């Protein structure tokens, strides 16, 4: 059958088409029908699963990029870690040990006297233990002038150990006495805990947590 024969077919009366044409038309119809059924009953049902796999693929790609970036920068991270450890060691060396604390308290007291201040109160408070260090607050009351207070603060900053000043309160000793001021301040110094103290603090923390639990002893 030629192309001219196909042009002469009566599309309103397919029953009179030649047998090969009818068979071809039926085959084409079944092919279209199967394609439509496949789309609606297979593709549409598999689409959510395909979307999920695409999301998982993107997640894995992002994880790979992240891990690849870390692997590439591993040496840089090691250098940064070494710098942090050195800095931490330097700061740790600024924390006195248990046997050095009395001398540090003397240094703080002497700093106020060296500034020409009159010391009315120097009261060490109970220490507060943290992970690897203890905080030692000291309530101090000094009397003097603004200039002397400035010398005291500069002297505290120059100490080889870490000392911080908190809860600063300055007021006149008496009305009109601008050169006689009272400074109330809490100085905090810090010391590192030795291994036995760290273990004891950890045991105490566990005991406190156990007592907080229902039925804890």
What would the DSSP string read from start to end of 65-96? HHHHHHHHTHHHHHHHHHHHHHHHHHHHHTS-
d(CA 106, CA 98): 14
Q: Is 168 inside any structural domain? A: yes
Phi, psi angles (nearest 5°) of residue 67? -70, -35
Domain that holds residue 137: 98-199
DSSP line for 186-200: EEEEEEEPPHHHHHH
Report the half-sphere exposure of 76 (CA within 13 A, side-chain side): 5
CB of 138 within 8 A of CB of 125?
Answer: yes
Number of domains composing the chain: 1
- Ramachandran angles phi, psi of 215, nearest 5°: 80, 10
Assess if residue 117 is contained within a domain. yes
pLDDT in tens, the chain (217 residues): 554 555 555 555 555 556 566 666 667 766 777 776 666 666 566 667 777 777 888 888 888 888 877 777 777 777 777 777 666 555 655 666 666 778 888 999 999 999 999 999 999 999 887 777 788 899 999 999 889 999 999 999 998 888 889 999 998 887 665 678 999 999 998 877 777 766 776 777 777 777 777 655 5
Is 79 a domain residue? no
Question: Can you give the CATH number for the domain in which 191 is found?
Answer: 3.30.70.60
Q: What is the pLDDT of residues 51-99, one digit of tens each?
A: 777 788 888 888 888 887 777 777 777 777 777 766 655 565 566 666 6
Tell me if 136 is assigned to some domain. yes
- Is 104 part of any domain? yes
Count of positions (residues) in the chain: 217
Provide the whole-model pTM: 0.51
Tell me if 128 is assigned to some domain: yes
């Amino acid at each position: 059958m030629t192309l001219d024969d196909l042009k002469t077919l009566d599309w309103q009366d397919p029953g009179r088409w030649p047998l090969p044409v009818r068979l071809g038309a039926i085959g084409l119809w079944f092919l279209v029908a199967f394609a439509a059924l496949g789309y609606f009953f297979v593709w549409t049902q598999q689409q959510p699963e395909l979307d999920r796999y695409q999301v998982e693929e993107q997640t894995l790609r992002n994880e790979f990029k992240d891990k690849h970036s870390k692997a590439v920068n591993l040496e840089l991270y090691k250098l940064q870690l070494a710098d942090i450890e050195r800095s931490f060691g330097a700061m740790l060396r600024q924390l006195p040990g248990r046997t050095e604390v009395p001398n540090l308290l003397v240094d703080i007291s002497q700093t106020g006297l060296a500034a020409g201040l009159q010391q009315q109160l120097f009261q060490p408070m109970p220490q507060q233990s943290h992970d690897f260090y203890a905080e030692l607050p000291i309530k101090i009351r000094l009397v003097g002038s603004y200039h002397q207070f400035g010398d005291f603060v500069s002297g505290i900053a120059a100490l080889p150990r870490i000392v911080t000043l908190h809860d600063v309160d300055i007021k006149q000793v008496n009305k009109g006495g601008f050169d006689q001021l009272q400074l109330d301040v809490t100085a905090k110094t810090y010391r590192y805990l030795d291994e036995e103290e760290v273990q004891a603090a950890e045991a105490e923390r566990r005991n406190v947590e156990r007592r907080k639990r229902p039925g804890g002893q």
